[in-house]
Structure 1
C-alpha cells in the first residue's frame, strides 16, 4: 500500500473557513501531527486521512485528553517519517472534532483550526512527537467604513477571487459568500490561502505573516500571479482550438 498522505489536498472536500469558536485555552504541550501537501489555517474545518502508526498514536493521545493537536506541514511530502528539521516551525493548533476508523487501518479525522503557534521544543519523539508550543497572539481588527485603504485592500482581493472563478478556477461555492461577509483582513487572507490550492511553501509563507494587512497584501500578490497563469492558460487553449 502506498504511503498515506495526512492532509493530501486531493482528498479534501469539506475544507473551508467558518466562524467557529476559537476561544479555547491552548495547552503549552501537545501531540504533533505532521501533515503533507497542505497547510492548515485557524478557522479552517477539514478532514485528514491519517495512516502512519506514530500519527495514529498522536491522534489517540489527543482524543484521550482535550482533543487538541498541533499540526505542522512537512517541507518534503515524500518523507515518510520526518525529523524535526524537516517540518516547518509555525503551524496551527487544531481540535479533533470526529474520528472514524477505516477498514485499511487508517483513520479519518475532522479537525478545526484554532490558533497559530510555533514549536519551542520537541520534548518527546517516541512513539509520537510531543512538543512544547507558544501561541501566536494576533489582533485582527475589523475594517471600518472610514478605513478607505483597508476597504480597498479587501475589495481588491474579493475582485481577484471573482476574476479567478471567471477564468475557470474551481473553488467551493460558498467561498465568495463567506468572503463578502468578512471584514477582518487576516481572516480574509486566511480564507483565500486555505481554499485556492496554493503550493505548500506559499501557503506556509502566508501562515507565518502575523500582521493581518501584510498577510492580505501577500495573498493579493499570490492571487495576481494565479490570475496571470490562468489567463495565459486560457489563451493557449483558445489558440489550440483555433488551429
Structure 2
C-alpha cells in the first residue's frame, strides 16, 4: 500500500462483485475511506470485515434513496459509478422494456449519483468522478450488443459533459472502457450459451492478448484516475481491453 488515496472518501456502486468489488478493495488498500454500495446486501456484507470499508445497501434506480444516501454521507472526494447490465441482441431483439431498463440502470443511475454528490464535491474544492463505460461504445460497435452499446455510449457523453462543465471548479470526470473482464455476471452469460468452455474461448479470443481482463486490472486504472497523480486528466474515455480496439 502506498496510501495514494489517504484522507479521501470514496463512494463505490455495484461493489458486491466484479469490478466494483475489486475497486472498493483497491481504494481501501490505498488509504481511502470507502463506502461500498450495492443492491445485493448479502454479497455486499462480505466486505464489512475489510479495513477501511463500510457498506450500505443502495438501489441506484431509486432517486429518493440516492438523495438520502448523499445527504447522510456528506462530501465524497471520489465517486466510482460501476452499476450496469449487459443485454445481448440487435435492435430487432430489444424490447422497449429492455431499452428502458438498460438506460435506467446503465445511464440514469450515474446521472442520479453525480447530481447527488456533485454539489458537496464542488463546495469542498473538487473531486474525481470515474464512470464505467465499455469499449463496445467508445471505439467499436460490438455485434449483438445494441442497447448495451447505446447506453454505454451515453455514459461517455455524460462523463465528458460533466468534465467540461465543471473543470473550473475542481471536478474531474473520466470514463473507463473495459474489454471483456472476468466477473460473476460474465460467467452467467457464458453459462447461458449452453457451452461454457466454448464461450470462454470465444470471449478470450476477442482480445489480442488472448485472455480475459481481471477486475483488479480495471481497479488499478480506477485508482490512478481517482488519485492526485492524474490531476491533469479529465474528460477522457480510457480503453483497457487487451488490445481489442487498437490491434
Give TM-score, length-normalised by structure 1.
0.26
Structure ranking higher in helix proportion = 2
The higher radius of gyration belongs to: 1
Structure ranking higher in strand proportion = 1
Give TM-score, length-normalised by structure 2.
0.26
